[in-house]
Amino acid sequence: MSIEQALQTFTAECRELLHEMEDALLGGCKGDMSADSINAVFRAAHTIKGSAGLFGLDHIVGFTHIAESVLDIVRAGQRAFTPELVELMLACRDHMAHLVDAVAAGQLDEDPQLTAAGMPLRQRLEAWLGVAPAAAAATAPVARSAAKPDGDGHWHISLRFKAEVLRNGMDPMSFLRYLATLGTVVHVAPVLDALPALDALDAEACYLGLELALRSDAGRDAIEGAFEFVRDDCRLRIVAPGSPPAAYRALADEFPEDRDAMMCLLRECGSWPAEDTVIDAAVAPCADLAVEAEAVDSARPRERRAQEKNSVRVDADKLDHLINLVGELIVATAGANLAARRAQNVELQEYGATLNSLVEDVRNSALQLRMVKIGSTFTRFKRVVHDVARDLGKDIELAIDGEDTELDKTVVEKIADPLTHLVRNAIDHGIEPAALRRERGKPAHGTIWLNAYHDSGTVVIEVGDDGGGLQRERLLAKAIERGIVEEGRHLSDAEVYALIFEPGFSTAEQVTNLSGRGVGMDVVKRNITALRGTIQIDSTPGVGTTMRVRLPLTLAIIDGFQVAVGGSVFVVPLEMVEECVEFRNDDGHDYTNLRGTVLPFIRLRELFALDGAASSRQSLVVVRYAGQRAGLVVDGLLGESQTVIKPLGKVFRHMRCISGSSILGSGDVALILDVPSLIHQAAGDHARLTQPSTSAFA
């Protein structure tokens, strides 16, 4: 593993640990920190400090050690984990994240600006240490001691570095520094038997070996974990405390040419008694069994790690490239199937059908690689709610549901910012002050919830609160005052609520750090629309508000249903197709009777102004989205197909009712219909001829 790869692993694991640390701290904001949570915070800080020591990142080690010392005092029961300490540790966690981010950006040396920013935190931590006994030093001295440790009370570690260690950017001494964080390195014996003659010496090669004794309460997994970054570039043997003499004898036997020297090194480390104990014949079989058991015990942690590490980190660019290749494969397969049908070659068509099935499986598997659970995105809002509520002086808790719902990684990344605006808006505008909530008969603490679930081939994300709800009359009056709405115009509740997404619109009485400037919510809608999603508002005065965001599962490849209008081919997302029926409508209306239900419809030929006469036998494709239905009048039904979504160019980006394009097997371009926009337009056209709009879309 090169130093670059090791640093990437280091930063990724540090971020995971910091996330766990934040979760544990947020769970104790009200002063009810459990022992497990305290230990989780301590372990995260301790691991980050030790890993940073491996890379010589002394500025991270120094800061983290002070925080770890305070946590150690709390673990020992000498101080309580008060809400004030939780806030301090959250601030320290944020500073550690900044330090790790700097390392990820290539800044391995200490940054004076970050150091200055962390100085007030260090002073506050030192103040906590000043009122209780200080914790042990971060790194115990690593020295070649003449005192011999008790062989029954320490681990013996035999280590031989390979020549590539230095070339890969690893410092052998950093592993000693890390081991010192796990306990006390009581003795180190260097081994230089691999050192060649001076004329054959390679300055970039490592010839160092170590025999050392470590007194520690850590387990084998933790000790082996110290060498995670260099596991492939070293020979490592670990003998547990209290092992029988045969275990040490077996270790010496691994070096047949230097066995006597190894016995001396074992005695020097205190792992082998000065008087070489003779194992008699009666004890030897038991000793052999002990050696075998030791070998099995040594292998078990590796087996557990192999089972636990059933996932790998893959560069997102590689996944994107794979998806693009699968998309091209789908287009090529469609072309091959079309050629087979034209040639009327039955055998070729059968192979084409088999290939198409396999390609579909490959497509599904490739898309699954990009699917991630939205829970990690939801969890980050615990901190947002905590910080914003504290700044506003409100008591708010966050409820999360549906965190196992999976969504395309690209969508998850791009939806984080819009959700942040929605959550902050709910805290600021939605949840009332505690005194007002009591007057209304509500609990003093408010609740904001995040929920996600699948619905008709889309993912629905809800951001709700139990606050005061949107005030229709106030919103409408503000819109009339700003000239956004003409006075006297009738608007449905959904249309009034949608006014909050207008640029520059705000009902705040004064500008604050969170609101009042009329920016944010319009950006939310624009970003969601860019993801081919929609946002709907449900609000009840005095009860609360729910923002409901609908997003596509993926932005790359979908199952489509092809329809023909004249010589043009359009694609409808298959998940939104409910049924197809024969179209009969001679009265000129834009709605029809579908089994006793009024169904508005749109003639695609008229909508897109396509040339040519309509087919004598037309079909009606019934589509559904967000609980609403509409019909699309088409000339022909071409069937299902895998559809590779291609974004529209800048010239066509603002086209209504079209969400993208796709390449057919013939090489022609097919447009992908924007079903939500079509349903909105169909419902609006029908409402203008019948009654005022009650559409949920705005």
Residues 6+ apart with CB under 8 A from 130: none
Range of weakest confidence among 285-289, 405-409, 543-547, 575-579: 285-289
Q: How confident is the model at residue 450 (pLDDT cuts 50, 70, 90)?
A: very high
Give how far Cα 370 sits from Cα of 353, 378, 466, 530, 558, Å. 26, 18, 34, 19, 14
Tokens, residue 488? 């006297």
| Closest C-alpha to 71, from 129, 118, 26 | 129
CB 629, CB 622: distance < 8 Å: yes
Cα separation of 407 and 404, whole Å?
A: 10
**Per-residue pLDDT at 24 exceeds 60:** yes
Dihedral over alpha carbons 179, 181, 184, 185 (to 10 degrees): 30
Does this chain's domain 151-277+285-306 share its CATH topology with 374-552? no
Q: Select the more confidently predicted residue: 169 or 441.
A: 441
Asked if the model's pLDDT at residue 220 lies above 90, the reply is no
DSSP per-residue codes, 376-417: HHHHTHHHHHHHHHHHHT--EEEEEE-TT-EEEHHHHHHHHH
The DSSP secondary structure of 534-555, one letter per residue, reads EEEEEEETTTEEEEEEEEES-S
User: Per-residue pLDDT tens for 600-618?
Assistant: 999 999 888 888 888 888 9
* Cβ-based neighbours of 180, under 8 Å, separated by 6 or more: 139, 140, 141, 142
pLDDT of residue 283: 34
Residue 522's pLDDT is what?
A: 81
3-state secondary structure of 508: coil
Side-chain-facing half-sphere of 215: CA atoms under 13 Å: 14
Structure tokens at 251: 């270790």
Average pLDDT, the chain: 79
CATH for 3-129 (3.40.1410.10, 2.70.50.60, 1.20.120.160, 1.10.645.10): 1.20.120.160
Q: pLDDT band for position 546 (50/70/90)? A: very high
When pLDDT is averaged across residues 25-35 and rounded to a whole number, the result is: 75
Predicted pLDDT at 637: 92
Whether the pLDDT of residue 279 is over 50: the answer is no
CB atoms within 10 A of CB 416: 15
What does pTM read for this prediction? 0.62
**pLDDT given at position 269:** 82
The answer to whether the beta carbons of residues 677 and 576 sit under 8 Å apart is no
pLDDT of amino acid 31:
59
pLDDT of residue 686: 58
Name the CATH architecture for the domain at 374-552: 2-Layer Sandwich (3.30)
Cβ neighbours for 669, distance < 8 A, ≥ 6 positions apart: 661, 662, 663
Predicted pLDDT at 509: 55
Residue 67 reports pLDDT greater than 80: yes
- Maximum separation of any 2 CA atoms in the chain, in Å: 110
Domain 557-690: CATH architecture, name and number where available:
Roll (2.30)
- pLDDT bin (cut points 50, 70, 90) of residue 666 is confident
Average confidence (pLDDT) over 155-173: 82
Residue with the bigger pLDDT between 27 and 278: it is 27
Chain CA centroid to CA 263, Å? 51
CA distance to 20, 557, 639, per residue, from 356 (Å): 44, 15, 15
pLDDT of residue 145 exceeding 70, the answer is no
Pick the more confident residue, 481 or 280: 481
pLDDT above 90 coverage of the chain, percent? 12
Cα–Cα distance for residue pair 59/114, rounded to 1 Å: 10
Say which residue, 479 or 665, is predicted with more confidence: 479
| Mean local confidence (pLDDT), 325-353 | 87
When pLDDT is averaged across residues 209-233 and rounded to a whole number, the result is 81
Report helix angle 284-308 to 245-253, nearest 10: 70
Q: Answer whether 582's CB lies under 8 Å from 620's CB.
A: yes
- The second-level CATH assignment, the architecture, of 151-277+285-306 is 2-Layer Sandwich (3.30)
Give 580's pLDDT tier (boundaries 50, 70, 90): very high
pLDDT of the residue at 483: 81
Instruction: Please name the helix (run of DSSP H) or strand (run of DSSP E) that holds residue 238, with its range, or none.
Output: strand 234-239
Whether 141 and 196 have beta carbons less than 8 Å apart is answered as: no
pLDDT band for position 304 (cuts 50, 70, 90): very low
81: nearest Cα among 44, 28, 41, 124: 28
Mean pLDDT of 83-99: 90
Distance set, CA 236 to CA 183, 210, 639 (Å)? 19, 10, 62
Domain segments of the chain as ranges:
3-129, 151-277+285-306, 317-370, 374-552, 557-690
DSSP assignment of 469-498, as one string?
---HHHHHHHHHHHTSS-TT----HHHHHG
Element (H, E) at 524: helix 521-530
Average pLDDT over residues 498-506: 80
**Per-residue pLDDT at 500:** 87
Q: How confident is the model at residue 514 (pLDDT cuts 50, 70, 90)?
A: low
Confidence of residue 695 (pLDDT cuts 50, 70, 90): very low
